[in-house]
Structure 1
Amino acid sequence: MYSPTVPFSEYLQGEQLKYPELTRDAIETLKKSLANDNLPPITDKKYLAFLHSCYFDLEFAKKTIQKFYGFYSDIPEVFQVLDPLAQEIETNYKCVSIGQMPSVNTDKSERFLFVQLKDYDANLFEYSSIFKYLAMWMDHTLLRYGTCDSIIAVVDSKGLNWRHIIKLPVLLCRQMLLFLETALPIRLKSIHVLNTGSTTQMLMKIIMRFASKELHEKIKLYSPGSEEIFSYVPRKVMPVEIGGLGKSHNHYNDELYNHLIDIRPIFLERNETLNNHRMVQNQPLILENE
């Protein structure tokens, strides 16, 4: 586990203990390959994350970074306004429980992301806020715990109703699915959706028509009351509310929310950097003789 502001040299040493393939030479080669792409400033920790998520394939990592920052540019309303103290994020925290298990990750073993509704009132529910929350979670898990073998997401869809479906921003969801498929700085292994009644199945049918075959294969649905999930994730880390032996989902939700607030200055600084880069990119060309 790292301090979020730990120097890169120390961060790199810790990550190399997990993955010796993460060499400084490889990271420098990756940086040089993107030198002419006019991307916003990218930290060495982020380069390392992409090199790892792409299984140390330099060309694959280069293309993934290009796509990643393409989405940052195309969806600024999600990626360039990240603030854990924003009102919409506070509302999301009260409405949707999002947490990482186990709480402390000191090695490269799998990590588990758990999501479920806390408040079933669809008036409080906003898809864009969830996307922002998850974007901040990705930064948090990489800064605090570094890379890992894979991420497994578990979504309990209990409480989802038709009012949640009619709020679905189809275009934004389509963009975020493409981001999920092609631009992640983490290794996403699978997504497990619990309590999939008729409403959840309808929502998944709408969303998944935009998904690739590869993403389809990563998603598994479970009927209400099924305990098959514990064939894929250890019961000992799952929240008690779904039959696990871990703590309440509220504990994990509170923990992550407080961690995001702790690194708020990092998000605000990045927002400013990205917005400044966008402003420069959008400036009209000024000729010297004008």
Structure 2
Amino acid sequence: MALPYEFSAKTVIDEGRTTQGTVDQIKEWLRTTTLPQVPEEMIVLFLLSCKNVVATTKATIQAYFKIKSEAPEIFNNRDIDSGDLQKAMSVVSCISIPVRTGDNTVIHFFKVTDSNYQNFDWILSMKLAYMLLDISQSRNPPNELIVVIDMQGVGFMHLTRFKIGAARKFLEFLQEGMPLRIKRIHVLNSTYVFDKLISIARVFIRNELMAIIKTHPPGTDMMQFHKECLPVSCLPKEYGGDLPTVEELNKISIQRFRELKPFFEAEEKFRSFYN
């Protein structure tokens, strides 16, 4: 079954980022499994995320379908115009930064814009976070991902609404089934709340993931952050960047989510063939 990607596997192969022979190896292996026959574009995404290591790619593809089938609350019904997702996007900004770093790394940015904990929904925020992957990968697959999370506005009461079961599935997919390699996670305005959150979810977090998390306390020198972490060309205006405001960038993400409705519907139907 074809999925409406806006790039072709051939383009990525012609760029030298993977090979047709490696893609064919995965296609041949898929025929021996009960997995859906994954289109070449999706195979390319998995190969890029696994540095073209065939064994790792196979394991990631298997995890992708298994975990998604076990967590429909996170991975299904991804219509941005539904009432619950509309509300979620008004509470938290979920942005695929439109400018990439020089090495083709994409940045996903998250910030609570409504600090009322009663309006925050962890599961819907998890769903939006993974919907961003499709924004970033639908047109031009990035090499890696940097995540920026601004904890400002997140308080202790947010933790009382934490869903440990959903968090387990979210982190399992992040570490086993996500077809994009995470390079670094920057946590801005990190306080005891983030430390407590990590302590709650630590049992599900591997050492490899912990090693790429870098916290930045309130009052961090943003000029130093620009120098050491991310350039101004890749950050919103509020963070000393050259890009529009968080609000404006969030609106762009909402529009892209809307444009990707046919993709979200097709991808969910495609996964329904998994046994």
Other-structure match for 1:260: 257
Query: Match for 2:140: what amino acid?
Result: Y
Q: Offset of 1:215 from its aligned partner?
A: 0.5
Other-structure match for 2:113: 118
Q: Offset of 1:86 from its aligned partner?
A: 1.9
Between the aligned partners of 1:167 and 1:64, the Cα distance in structure 2 is 30
Matched-pair contact (CA < 8 Å) for 2:5–2:41: no
Distance 1:215 1:224, change over 3 A: same
Q: Offset of 1:135 from its aligned partner?
A: 1.9
Matched-pair contact (CA < 8 Å) for 2:13–2:20: no
Q: Does 1:30 align with 2:26?
A: yes
Between the aligned partners of 2:154 and 2:29, the Cα distance in structure 1 is 45
Q: Offset of 1:184 from its aligned partner?
A: 1.4
Query: Match for 2:259: what amino acid?
Result: D
Q: Offset of 1:238 from its aligned partner?
A: 1.1
Deviations 1:154-183 (A, max 9, x none): 100000012210111112102211211121
Other-structure match for 2:149: 155
Q: Does 1:241 align with 2:238?
A: yes
Between the aligned partners of 2:80 and 2:211, the Cα distance in structure 1 is 32
Q: Please, which of 173, 182, 187 is the counterpart of residue 176 of structure 2?
A: 182
Between the aligned partners of 2:242 and 2:267, the Cα distance in structure 1 is 37
Between the aligned partners of 1:106 and 1:115, the Cα distance in structure 2 is 18
User: Normalization by structure 1: what TM-score?
Assistant: 0.86
Which structure has the larger Rg? 1
**Unaligned segments of structure 1, at least 5 residues:** 282-290
Q: In the comparison of the two structures, how many residue pairs are matched?
A: 269
Other-structure match for 1:57: 53
Other-structure match for 2:163: 169
**Unaligned segments of structure 2, at least 5 residues:** none
Matched-pair contact (CA < 8 Å) for 1:106–1:145: no
Other-structure match for 2:136: 141
Q: Offset of 1:108 from its aligned partner?
A: 5.4
Between the aligned partners of 1:172 and 1:268, the Cα distance in structure 2 is 22
Q: How does 1:124-135 map to 2 (within 5 A)?
A: 124-135=119-130
Other-structure match for 2:11: 14
Deviations 1:251-285 (A, max 9, x none): 2111111011011011112223333x26xx4xxxx
Query: Match for 2:34: what amino acid?
Result: N
Q: Does 1:44 align with 2:50?
A: no
Other-structure match for 1:194: 188
Matched-pair contact (CA < 8 Å) for 1:150–1:186: yes
Q: Offset of 1:133 from its aligned partner?
A: 1.1
Between the aligned partners of 1:86 and 1:32, the Cα distance in structure 2 is 39
SS for the counterpart of 1:71 is: helix
Other-structure match for 1:284: none
Query: Match for 1:28: what amino acid?
Result: D
Between the aligned partners of 1:12 and 1:43, the Cα distance in structure 2 is 9
Distance 1:86 1:105, change over 3 A: same
Q: Offset of 1:106 from its aligned partner?
A: 10
Other-structure match for 2:266: 269
Matched-pair contact (CA < 8 Å) for 1:41–1:273: no
Q: Which runs of 4+ in 1 moved over 4 A?
A: 104-108
Q: Which is worse superposed, 154-163 or 175-184?
A: 175-184
Distance 1:17 1:229, change over 3 A: farther
Matched-pair contact (CA < 8 Å) for 1:122–1:164: yes
Between the aligned partners of 2:31 and 2:10, the Cα distance in structure 1 is 25
